[in-house]
Amino acid sequence: MTEATFAVLALLVLVWAVTSDLLARLNITGPLVFTVAGYVLGNPDSGLLTVDVETPSIHLIAELTLALLLFSDAARVNVSRLKRDIRLPGRLLAFGLPLSVILGALLAAWLFADATWALAGFVGAALAPTDAALSAQVINDRRIPMRLRRALNVESGLNDGIVTPVVTFTLAVAAGQLGSAAHDGGGDDSGGGALLELAVGLVVGLVIGTASAWLLSVGSRRHWMGTDASQLGTLAAALSSFALAVAFSGNGFIAAFVAGIAFRAALDQDAVDADAAVELPELLGEVLALAAWFLFGATLVPIALHNFGITVVAYAVLSLTAVRMVPVALSLLGTGLDRTTVLFVGWFGPRGLASVVFALLAVEQLPTIPVVERAVAVVALTVFLSVVLHGVTAGPLGRRYVHLEQAEDTQDAGPRSRRAVVE
């Protein structure tokens, strides 16, 4: 990344900070603004800035961003509170997520006949996780039942970490199947290497997350530090879990995700406020996320437009609709939720930053051949459509849902309405 690109990014963040609430009232999200700005200013054909998708700094920014958000999301999950209302997010993660991966992979294998099974699996897994940042208006709308908002928030906070092992494994096998020079040993050896990386990441995450929580708890109980220092320590835990795992040839994303879970579980809640401690890594992750969206617009959106075609568009549309909604509907059978609520939950599964990072990993690890470029284009186009559609519809559809549910409550003369199921 050049100095000019960094300067433009900094100015864009400043402008966004000043106008964010105004643009939110117009249903314009930060990811949309930075994606469009990235494409206009950094596309390879007419952009004023030089942004190369092969540049290591781009991959580093994207990977650090995802690592911080994985840690923050995992560390914010209050297990004791979640236990009281695990039914909906549990179903979405245990049944809806695997079904989305499988259905997405089968669709990719059907539409793209030249894709290997591992590459098709990568596409399905890369587009399975959701990003609540693209529908923040729904998550923050207090008129929508808390149970639904919590389910969507917990789902988006955990599904990217859960699906990361699948993405890592399919990428490694695809590299061997497609003859990548980095994986000359073939698909089986690559898959074994990926499993070793996951194991190393798991161990590093457990050690760093547990140890850092213990140290912060001891320091706070003995009055060695204040709230600001606890935030710095939490940021260091998030970054060190990722960096140390990578240094030991492990998976940094798994390490960050597991470290976040272990950190929250091991932290002495009486000594350290977990929610306050995680604010700094979360804030830094949000700032880096804006930069990642700019780089997405500059590097991956042009790839999507270059490979624009009926099959790519068909996959993107189906991924945002049937591939998401059918698994959600199946996973919510027997919960008593009405059709409007199931459709509402099914639609608000936006694809976001995790999918962007996974696409960049494919660019980095897979050979530059047409089938790989088409797979990256599919992921990029799906994310771009999601940024636009979910960002624009979050406010209006949230208000529409509240109106429909209130109208149904009014018409229901019985002592218990269906709405009561989701309160």
Crossing angle between the packed helical segments 310-320 and 97-111, to the nearest 10 degrees: 170
Taking the alpha carbons of 172, 174, 177, 183 in that order, is the dihedral positive or negative?
A: negative
Distance CA 421, CA 408 (A): 13
Query: What average pLDDT score do residues 112-137 get?
Result: 91
Q: Check residue 182 and give its pLDDT.
A: 42
Query: What average pLDDT score do residues 290-295 get?
Result: 93
DSSP 119-142: HHHHHHHHTS---GGGGHHHHT-T
Distance CA 268, CA 371 (A): 50
DSSP 179-192: T-GGGTT-HHHHHH
- Other beta carbons within 10 Å of 137: 21
- What HEC string does 193-208 produce? HHHHHHHHHHHHHHHH
Instruction: Give the count of domains, the chain.
Output: 1
**Which of 21-35, 219-233, 305-319 is predicted most confidently?**
305-319
Q: Check residue 45 and give its pLDDT.
A: 85
pLDDT at 343 over 80: yes
- Other beta carbons within 10 Å of 126: 31
pLDDT at 189 over 60: no
pLDDT at 162 over 70: yes
pLDDT at 391 over 80: yes
Q: Check residue 141 and give its pLDDT.
A: 83
DSSP state of 422: G
Query: What average pLDDT score do residues 183-199 get?
Result: 66
pTM confidence score: 0.88
pLDDT at 411 over 80: no
Q: Say whether 33 sits in a helix, a strand or coil.
A: helix
Q: In which domain, by residue range, is 123 found?
A: 3-422
Query: Whole-number mean pLDDT of the chain?
Result: 88
Query: What average pLDDT score do residues 399-403 get?
Result: 87
pLDDT at 252 over 80: yes
Q: Check residue 80 and give its pLDDT.
A: 65
Q: Check residue 271 and give its pLDDT.
A: 83
Q: Check residue 79 and give its pLDDT.
A: 67
The domain that holds 205 is classified in CATH as 1.20.1530.20
Residue found under tokens 């920014």: 61
| pLDDT band for position 412 (cuts 50, 70, 90) | low
Of residues 274 and 97, which shows the higher confidence score?
97
pLDDT at 374 over 60: yes
pLDDT at 422 over 50: no
What are the Cα distances from residue 57, in Å, to 6, 72, 224, 372? Answer: 11, 22, 37, 22
145 contacts 162 by C-beta, under 8 angstroms: no
pLDDT at 199 over 70: yes
Model confidence pLDDT, tens digit, residues 40-67: 999 888 878 888 777 787 888 889 999 9
Radius of gyration in angstroms for the set of CA atoms belonging to the chain, rounded to a whole number = 21
Q: Exposed (0-12), middle (13-18) or buried (19+): which is 48, by Cβ within 10 Å?
A: exposed
| pLDDT band for position 309 (cuts 50, 70, 90) | very high
Query: What is the length of the chain?
Result: 423
Buried residues in 67-106 as b, exposed as e (16+ CB within 10 A): bbbbbbbbbbbeeeeeeeebebbbbbbebbbbbbbbbbbe
Q: Classify residue 334 as left (phi > 0), alpha (psi -120 to 50) or beta.
A: left
Q: Check residue 421 and give its pLDDT.
A: 35
Distance CA 181, CA 368 (A): 11
Q: Check residue 321 and give its pLDDT.
A: 96
Q: Check residue 184 and give its pLDDT.
A: 46
